[in-house]
Chains A and B, each alone.
Chain A
Amino acid sequence: MKALFTIINNMDRRYIFLAMVIAVILPLIKPLALPVKITPNTQSSFDVIDSLAPGSKILLSFDYDPASSPELQPMAKAVMTHCFRKDVKMIAVALWPQGPMMAKKAFESLSSDPEFSGKKYGVDFVNLGVQPSYVAVVKGMGDSIAGVFPTDFFGNKTTDFEIMKGVKNYRDLAAIFSLTTGSAGIGTYVTIANAQYKTIVTGGCTAISSLEYYPYLQSKQLIGLVEGLKGASEYERLVKKPALATAGMDVQAVVHMMLIFFILLANVSQMIVGKQK
């Protein structure tokens, strides 16, 4: 018995890697189709968008790069689907250099969907791109969005777009939805846009940074938070369009169980081997 646990204790980590790969592949090939339960944070974020009148405009901020795209890209698509259906217009900006490319990909994949064939760039959605120094960007948009982003991502003049008619700064926006990873994003919008201009801020983030925003949730400076892949799958369910995040949650469940098993196994073997020493 002790020998077995000693082997387990000193196992080469590559076996763990292999177990991970198997635990990821199997549920992808044979989905478990687990139900998706909606958590309160996702629901309140959904409600913010859902309560907007048709034709109102939101700022959709793409504050992430490809590294976080498995979590945030499905979320972005679900939120955009919701906005398109509600006829809420989206002004996309980014605080991360790669954000505009992610926005471009999301818009391209949604506009190829026959459901949204009527949605036009510059009318229902515009991609203003990115500017350096995110604090200056978020601060500057309080005065003038077109001042911070003189052109869109592709070099066209911002003020020429129909969607920008009547939009000067945060006061003309119904809400801000930030898709965040890392330091630039929800935190910046809460501390500047919400604190100074009282704009409603909501958003989604990677699971890794979501707990950072819980104090802002409790103080209602941030209304709702879509957390990680789980949150994305919930949003997909809320807009009734299950996609990659929903499929991914099956895998997530299996890998979590495996990791919990590993943690327990390691602790048991530690106890047995440690005691007999």
Chain B
Amino acid sequence: MDKMALFNGFLIIFFIVLFVLLIVMGQTLRTSLFLRRKLPLAFCFIMGVTMIFQFFIPPENSLYKEIEDLSTKWIQIISSFALVIGLISLVTMNFNKISRKYEDWQYSIVLLLGFFITIFYGLRDGFEGKEFDFIFNYMYVPMQSTMFSILAFFVASAAFRAFRARSREATLLLTAAVIVMLGRVELGSVIWSYIPVVSRYFDVSELAQWINTVFTTAGQRAILLGASLGYIAASFKILLGIERSYFGSEE
């Protein structure tokens, strides 16, 4: 047990030293164009080509397993670190806000309190802790679902204000929306049954289903095909180093 603690301490110091070394290296070598541009692009290219190549190896092959194992581990570890940046900037931003007494700085205290209390109980007990469960179930869940449910009110007001049959296309859009809204609730069928003639042949829920399986499928598939081809083209541009906006604003 003692040895484990010693090892953990060593690990922490090791990573801190590594980080400091990296920063020093980053500052001294920042003028090198090879390191700044060419090498990252090479990383991107090699990684992408390997992943494409992997699809053409049978899954039973050991090379397939090696690539799969290694790439998944890499991406998982790197992505975990990526999450930390957001947290660092959130905390420093709010500390700044409090120390400089910007507008609404009092609320930043609430934010930081929420943050530190959650991580205190979370890091201490993991996901089984009673306090962590309490925070999640009675604070996180109601707040998040309420924030999203507010959108229902705005959708209603938008339906009232903006949903007007001004042109043929707008009428089509409106009609489709109304039929789908009627067809997806049972009360719609009840009201539909009062409409003479047509109600004898089909129900509004069937009509809505028909619109979805025929027209919406066609429309969504056209969008899907367009978006997918665009996605693939963009991926090729990234792999070949033509598109490098992810590098940041300097270039």
Contact A256 B181 (CB under 8 A): yes
Could you write out 16 A-B pairs with CB less than 8 Å apart? A66-B142, A68-B148, A101-B127, A132-B82, A133-B79, A136-B76, A142-B68, A143-B59, A143-B65, A214-B216, A218-B213, A252-B185, A256-B181, A259-B181, A260-B182, A263-B159
Closest residue on chain B to residue A35 by CB atoms: B186
* CB of B153 closer than 8 Å to a CB of A: yes
Interface residues on A, range: 35 or more
Compute how far the CA of A67 lies from the CA of B76 in the bound complex, rounded to whole angstroms.
Answer: 25
Extra contacts besides A105-B137, A257-B185 (20): CB < 8 Å:
A13-B157, A13-B161, A16-B157, A20-B156, A34-B186, A39-B209, A67-B144, A67-B145, A101-B136, A197-B59, A215-B221, A215-B224, A252-B184, A256-B181, A256-B185, A257-B191, A259-B156, A259-B159, A263-B159, A263-B163
Q: Is the interface of B mostly helix, strand, loop or mixed?
A: helix
* CB of A226 closer than 8 Å to a CB of B: no
Contact A266 B188 (CB under 8 A): no
Compute how far the CA of A248 lies from the CA of B142 in the bound complex, rounded to whole angstroms.
Answer: 17
Contact B68 A253 (CB under 8 A): no
Contact B76 A131 (CB under 8 A): yes
Q: Which 6 A-B pairs rank lowest in CB-CB distance, beginning with the nearest? A: A140-B72, A253-B187, A132-B79, A253-B185, A67-B148, A215-B221
Please give, as numbers and ranges, the residues of chain B lying within 8 Å of A197 by CB-CB distance.
59
> Given contacts A100-B127, A263-B174, A270-B164, is CB(A230)–CB(B136) below 8 Å?
no
Contact B216 A211 (CB under 8 A): yes
Please give, as numbers and ranges, the residues of chain A lying within 8 Å of B163 by CB-CB distance.
263, 266-267
Closest residue on chain B to residue A141 by CB atoms: B72
* CB of A36 closer than 8 Å to a CB of B: yes
Q: Which of B136, B142, B191 has the most CB of A within 10 A?
A: B136
* CB of A166 closer than 8 Å to a CB of B: no
Compute how far the CA of A104 lies from the CA of B127 in the bound complex, rounded to whole angstroms.
Answer: 10
The residues in A between 221 and 272 inclusive whose CB is less than 8 angstroms from any CB of B are: 228, 230, 249, 252-254, 256-257, 259-260, 262-263, 265-267, 270
Contact A136 B75 (CB under 8 A): yes
Please give, as numbers and ranges, the residues of chain B lying within 8 Å of A101 by CB-CB distance.
127, 136
CB distance from A192 to the nearest CB of B (A): 11
Closest residue on chain B to residue A212 by CB atoms: B220
Contact B160 A132 (CB under 8 A): no
Contact B156 A214 (CB under 8 A): no
Contact B140 A66 (CB under 8 A): yes
> Given contacts A16-B160, A39-B205, is CB(A260)–CB(B186) below 8 Å?
no
The residues in B between 182 and 216 inclusive whose CB is less than 8 angstroms from any CB of A are: 182, 184-191, 205, 209, 212-213, 216
Closest residue on chain A to residue B218 by CB atoms: A215
Interface residues on B, range: 35 or more
CB distance from B112 to the nearest CB of A (A): 20
Compute how far the CA of A30 lies from the CA of B1 in the bound complex, rounded to whole angstroms.
Answer: 62
The residues in B between 46 and 99 inclusive whose CB is less than 8 angstroms from any CB of A are: 55, 59, 64-65, 68-69, 71-72, 75-76, 79-80, 82-83
Contact A144 B69 (CB under 8 A): yes
Compute how far the CA of A36 lies from the CA of B184 in the bound complex, rounded to whole angstroms.
Answer: 10
Please give, as numbers and ranges, the residues of chain A lying within 8 Å of B221 by CB-CB distance.
214-215, 218
Contact B145 A70 (CB under 8 A): yes
Contact A148 B72 (CB under 8 A): yes
Compute how far the CA of A129 lies from the CA of B31 in the bound complex, rounded to whole angstroms.
Answer: 43
* CB of B16 closer than 8 Å to a CB of A: no
Closest residue on chain B to residue A229 by CB atoms: B184
* CB of B40 closer than 8 Å to a CB of A: no
* CB of A139 closer than 8 Å to a CB of B: yes
Compute how far the CA of A133 lies from the CA of B73 in the bound complex, rounded to whole angstroms.
Answer: 11
* CB of A114 closer than 8 Å to a CB of B: no
Please give, as numbers and ranges, the residues of chain B lying within 8 Å of A253 by CB-CB distance.
185-188
CB distance from A272 to the nearest CB of B (A): 13
Contact with B144, one of A66, A131, A270 (Cβ below 8 angstroms): A66
Contact B144 A196 (CB under 8 A): no
Compute how far the CA of A254 lies from the CA of B187 in the bound complex, rounded to whole angstroms.
Answer: 8
CB distance from A222 to the nearest CB of B (A): 12
Contact B164 A211 (CB under 8 A): no
The residues in A between 88 and 146 inclusive whose CB is less than 8 angstroms from any CB of B are: 98, 100-101, 104-105, 131-133, 136-137, 139-140, 142-144
Contact A143 B136 (CB under 8 A): no
> Given contacts A140-B72, A215-B221, A253-B187, is CB(A263)–CB(B178) below 8 Å?
yes
